[in-house]
Amino acid sequence: VATSHPLATQIGLDILKNGGNAIDAAIAANATLGLMEPTGCGIGGDLFAIVWDGKTKKLYGLNASGRSPKNLSIDYFEKMGMTKIPSHGPLPVSVPGAVDGWFELHEKFGSKTMTEILAPAIDYAKNGFPLTELIAWYMSRSVPFFESKGFPNIDDTYKLQNGGKLPKEGEIYKNSYLANTYRKIAANGRDVFYKGEIAKIIVKFIKQQGGFLSAKDFASHKSEWVEPVSINYRGYDVWELPPNGQGIAALQILKILEGYDFSNIEFGSAEHLHLFTEAKKLAFEDRAKFYADTDFVKVPVEKLIPAEYANERRKLIGKRAGKYSAGEISAGETIYMTVADNQGTMVSLIQSNYRGMGSGMAPPKLGFMLQDRGELFSLTRGQANSFEPGKRPFHTIIPAFVTKDGKPFLSFGVMGGDFQPMGHTQIIMNMIDFKMNL
């Protein structure tokens, strides 16, 4: 089990020791991270996963990202004189997909009950855990920021349960509201979140704040099982999920760079950095132009990732830096985690709220904040990623996987918005081209 928090890793290991499988352990660890690292993830956000199933010896992809409100259109933003969707408040909130993602993974691959899986996170939420250095620092910046905006329930969710103040590093932190929410999810399944009591609380709250998420948006939400896509890089098959995520950008960068012989190029040299940066620029220009929800636009994945297209793009790389016109898209803070079990099943899982803690919208007494992923839509009409009702926004969080000769080689991912396709490329190159160990 590899996660960003030792207690989450320990819980994953405990689940495995007690007869659970990789999926059980991953859900348990992710629920724990939602509690212990609320500055990067939680059940107010979305989830993506790639699973290597030890039984079928096959890869499965899960897109558990949520959609925009069905009764909100680009007209509203134009009427309000907005040229971009705000970072915070009710307008960037899309349906949170993580909980449905857990249940999809669990139904297909899980073995233990959700009551057993969520029990450790519930216990820590109720009784408390020591806050780590980085999360304490992020919270000391984020919580006062949301308070300064006048968003409701911030104090109640993050301070009042802890004697009215934010815990410092090493102090015990509790979230009894989240314990109750997890209990309800464990007992009543995903429907309590999307059709029942929790959905009702969220919808009522968002309406009061001037947002548009409706009961229908929650009730109609579903995750999608998708076929992972791959390229071969010097004998290794690198797998990503198709858009609305940005995973194929890593495949595009790698395919461009495969045309250079890095055995003669020193790691970290001017030449290495130049070629890498130029390949990234080219891939990110395509990202800005094409990547979006495939239910709404035709993303030409089969044109963008093959060698023929990479060969054409490579010709644009000169001796000097080229222009970069794809603009800036995103902010970071995410959790990535991976688990493998003794049956050979491996899960590469990434989960996030966006912009750290999210939108600032904390529904009353539920213990978590909703994501602001809808900020990533474009308000320019006619683009692939233009805002539309019921559409999934362009997404930065991407799990990855590598196979060699049809067998698992590496389950991996990184954190941090725009950096992720670059990070994936660097890890692959560092291991394969520059012979670094894991």
Residues involved in catalysis: 334
What tokens appear for 5 in the block? 């928090």
Name, in order, each residue with C-beta under 8 angstroms of 43's C-beta and a sequence gap of 6 or more: 31, 34, 96, 98, 99, 181, 185, 193, 368
Centre a 10 Å sphere on the Cβ of residue 298 and count the other Cβ atoms it contains: 9
C-alpha span between 380 and 390 (Å, rounded): 17
Query: Is 294 strand, coil or helix?
Result: coil
What tokens appear for 105 in the block? 């993974």
> Burial letters for 140-154: b for 16+ Cβ neighbours within 10 Å, e otherwise?
eebbeebeeeebbbb
DSSP string over 125-182: HHH-EEPPHHHHHHHHHHHHHHHHTT-TTHHHHHTGGGTTS---TTSEE--HHHHHHH
Query: What phi and psi values does residue 67 have, to the nearest 5 degrees?
Result: -105, 165
Q: Residues in the chain, how many?
A: 438
Look-up of token digits 């989240």: 178
C-alpha span between 147 and 322 (Å, rounded): 43
- Rg of the chain, C-alpha, whole Å: 21
* CB distance 226 to 395 below 8 Å: no
User: Amino acid identity of 358?
Assistant: G
Of the candidates 211, 173, 218, 219, the residue with the CA atom closest to the CA atom of residue 367? 173
C-alpha span between 416 and 397 (Å, rounded): 8
Query: Is 19 strand, coil or helix?
Result: coil
**Partner residues linked to 49 by β-bridges:** 62, 349
The sign of the torsion formed by the CA atoms of 115, 116, 122, 126 equals positive
C-alpha span between 178 and 366 (Å, rounded): 6
